[in-house]
Every structure is written in C-alpha cells, then in structure tokens.
Chain A
Amino acid sequence: MERHPSYQILSASLSKYPKAAGALFQTYNDLKLAQQWSDLEVIEVPGCSRYALRGRRPNTDVVLNVVPCSLSESLSTDWIRTTFRELNSPAHVYLAINTEDSSIVYYKISPGIVKPPL
C-alpha cells in the first residue's frame, strides 16, 4: 500500500485510526480515480474513530460527504447521528461500505423521511 501514489496524501489519516485505514484508502481511491471526484479532502470524525471524505462529483458544484466503513463493522443509529453532527449537519451523508474484494456499496442516508425522486 505504501507504494501507491495515494498513500502519501493519506498517510497521517491512515495511521491515526488504523482500524478504519483499509476502508478509507479504498474509498479515497474509488472516488478520486474511478469516479473522478474533484477537491477531495479528508475530514476527521472523532466520534466514530475515522476520517470522512468530502468532495464534488465531476461537473457539479454540490459538496458531498462520504463516510467509509467496512462490511465487518456493526453500526448503530447513534453512530450515524454522530457522523451527521460532526460533519456539520449536511443534507445527506453517503455511507461507503467496503468489502475485502474492493467492492464498495454506497448508501445515501438522510435524517428523516425522503420521498423517492421519480
């Protein structure tokens, strides 16, 4: 992992919370290289012992928050509420669930009931 170009950018964040390091690394690479997000920055979420990512999708202006986690972790609604609180109450948060074969499933979480778009 150390030889990967993204490691330089993330090394401080990876070493601070080692249990969340794999998920953060995979999610960062997916967003930056595969989905081509711009202005990616790393935000600390101390209540959940991890770092979250904030950036924009290609050709959009809206800033989105992504919280990486691993499939083996157990989450609670309190955990989710903490992410909302510590990311300054965004409209919605994307949960990036990482697996060992590098698949990432994104879930969009909103506080409250949301009507389907179409």
Chain B
Amino acid sequence: MSLIGPSRKQGSQKSGARRAENNRIYAHPLPLVFPAPSPSTFGHLLGLFGLSTARLENPHCEGVFDPATRSVWIVNEKDSTILWRRGFFGKGDLSRSEPSWLARQTNARKAAGKYMTSEEVREKRRAERMQFKRDRAAAIARAAAEAEAAFAEGREAAPAIIPSGATWKPTPAPASESLPPPPEDEDEDEDEEIPEEEPLENVEHLQLTLQEAWFLVWNLDCLTVLDPYTNVPMSLQQIWRAFQDIHCVPPELPIYAGRFDNPFLIHYAAYHYYRALGWVVKGGIKFCVDYLLYKRGPVFHHAEFAVVVIPVYEDPADKESSPFNLPNADTFSWTWLSTVNRVNSRVQKTLILTYVTVPAQSRVSPDLLSSPACLAHYSVREVVLRRFIPARMRD
C-alpha cells in the first residue's frame, strides 16, 4: 500500500493492535505517576473522610546543562525513555523524535531488520514519492510527445493518463522492504550485540529545551540538572539564573539586568500556558513556527495547531532599550503572515498567534525576576487565524 497516497481509514494508518500498543506505552501524560493503591479497608475508611493513601512515584531523572547548545542533555537511557514516554519531553539528538539511533544502527548492521524505525518509514515514503514524481514526469513527457505527433499527422491525440497522488501505486518492491513498524522495545534491541563487529556505543542523548527542562524542574520536581563543569546538581536559583543568562552575552553587563523580555522568560510563559492546559508542546521549526500543539502526542495524531509567539511590550520604552533581538517583536508584514499561514494550511494546521505581554519595568519591580513569581505578571492571549475565501465559504 502506497505510503504517499490517502489512507483507506478515516484517521491514521495504524492498525488497532498498534493503537492499543501506543495507548499502553504512552498511558501516562506526565513523568509523575500515581500507582493505583491496593484496596484495603483502611484506605476505604480514609476515603470516607476525603483522604487518600495514594503515593506519588517520581522517577527523579538527571540531566546535564549544556550552555553551547542551550539545552539540557539526558544521557541516561532509562531517564530518556521515561521522559519521552510520559509526556513526550525532549528529542533524540540523532533522531527525528524519540532516540532511535542505536536501533537504526543495529538494524542497518543486521541488514535484515525485523522492525522499521520512524526514520526508515520516512525514507521509504520519500523514495516512493521520488518514484511517483519520476513516473509522473515521464507520463507528462509521453503525453506531450503524443500530442505533438498527433498534431503533425492531423489527428486527435489519445487521452493522456497522468498518475496523481491518489491513484499511483508503487511497483512491487522486494520482500525485505515491506516490514511492519516496530513495537517500542528499544531496551531489548540495545541488549543484543553483534558478535563479529565491535559493540555499538550509544552516542545519542535526549535533548530538552530550556523551557521543557524548567517545566520539569520547577513544576514537577522530577529532574535534576547538573552543572557541566563540576557535575554538581544545580540549585533552583542557579538554574533559573543560568537559563536566563544564556541569552545575555556576556552576562555581567548592566544592560541585561532586570529585563523582563529575556527570550527564555517569554518562551517559557507560552510553553507553560499550553502545557498547563494539557497540550503536548514540541518545536515547530519544520513549519516556520515556534511551537506545535499535539492533543495527546506525536505518535497519536498530527499536530492540529501551529503557534507563533509574538512578544508585546506593555511599555514602549522597554522595547527601545531592549538588548535582545527578539524575533516578531516588531509589527509584521502581511506577506510574512500570508506565507506562514499558507505553509501551515497546506499541512492542515491552524495557525495561532500567541501574544505574550512583557510587563513594564516601571510598574513591576525587577527584583521579582530573581524568582519565577515574575511569571504571574506575563499575560498570554491567542488569535486564531484562518484564511477566508468569500467565494467558497458561503455555507
């Protein structure tokens, strides 16, 4: 079945078993889990009083702050699996989503990989699309030549048959290519090593953006961030300070002191807003936007919304004195808006402009910046954009 044509089913192409598997693996929306308490009479009694014996299971993950890439690296494989599977935090730095580099290398070495990773599915889809484009170009060339010949002979040309995306079928591929997608058991793959070649060292890590890391550290307290040079866990104040200073080069300059428009704060306000509402927030560079919002996660369905973060200054004087080159802070042109909306409507995403208001330094004391309490002074508003075509949208 072609990977580039429209799917038979209403939603995704996944089978029922695959969906059940995904529901099982990705059951927890956050790294903190409440394991079901065992039923007991004591528990029942407490329940009558509105109390509960439920415990909280905290995975206590550990990551390293990397200033050069402005991110937090989770090197431990167990922690990266937990953070990905419970909330889709982070991205494997050698993969398109979850860290699958080792699985892909192992598959390549075995050369008879039983399961395909998402990257391999993507390569297969791209190869099919390339083949479809070649077939279509050849059909167009044939139709043109036929029309020329018919015109020269003074007869009607035979009707041309140009393959379209919906009707084209790939030519039968060798059996080794039609593989089912894998179950998410990477831990088993990593244990199998090829005896002939040297064992593969997993050089991939899970990379969290500073916003994701701060969300885990501050709100859920399930992440410890280590200082890259001393390997000592950083305190909450140190992390809060370091994540903002990363945008201040060099950090000691007085122009950076007491700034509410630090890019980390503005992006964190937007990230926290959507995460707190239950959306899974991922980076949106592939669609020219800041963030993509997923209802449950990337493995379930494509993102429905694309978010562009636009900072708005409460006090114009703050904007004049800003040492940061904030993108989208100035009024945008209709060509830019039109382009971004066009890109996203092509992929069936709705564009959301998220306006984050930066509080005025004259009204709110910059001393508040020493703690996350300052975030309460940022306000987030959204404008949803849809292109209106009067001729077609009469109903």
Query: Which residues does A use to contact B, with CB under 8 Å?
Result: 1-2, 4-6, 14, 18-19, 21-22, 25-26, 29-30, 33-34, 71-72, 74, 97-103, 105, 118
Contacts and interface: CB of A to CB of B under 8 A. Distances in A.
Interface of B: 66, 68-71, 90-95, 101, 130, 133-134, 136-137, 201, 203-204, 207-210, 212, 228, 249, 263, 282-283, 285-286, 325, 327
B246 to A, nearest CB: 10
Contacts of B68: 1, 14, 18, 21-22, 25
30 contacts: A1-B228, A5-B203, A18-B68, A22-B69, A26-B93, A29-B93, A29-B94, A30-B93, A33-B203, A34-B94, A34-B95, A34-B101, A71-B285, A97-B285, A98-B69, A99-B283, A100-B70, A100-B210, A101-B71, A101-B91, A101-B209, A101-B212, A102-B69, A102-B71, A102-B91, A102-B92, A102-B207, A103-B286, A105-B286, A118-B136
A82 B133 CA distance: 35
Contacts, number: 75
Contacts of B70: 22, 100
Among A4, A71, A101, A118, the most chain B Cβ lie within 10 Å of the Cβ of A101
Contacts of B66: 1, 22
A73 B267 CA distance: 17
Contacts of A105: 285-286
A44 to B, nearest CB: 18
A30 B94 CA distance: 6
B209 A100 contact: yes
Question: A-B pairs with the 6 shortest C-beta distances?
Answer: A22-B69, A102-B93, A22-B68, A102-B207, A34-B94, A118-B133
Given A1-B68, A25-B69, A26-B93, A103 B133 contact: no
A102 B91 CA distance: 7
A59 B220 CA distance: 47
Contacts of B282: 101
Given A19-B249, A101-B90, A102-B91, A1 B69 contact: yes
B168 to A, nearest CB: 14
Given A29-B203, A101-B282, 20 more contacts: A1-B66, A14-B68, A19-B249, A22-B66, A22-B70, A30-B94, A72-B263, A72-B327, A98-B69, A100-B70, A100-B283, A101-B90, A101-B207, A102-B69, A102-B91, A102-B207, A103-B283, A105-B286, A118-B134, A118-B136
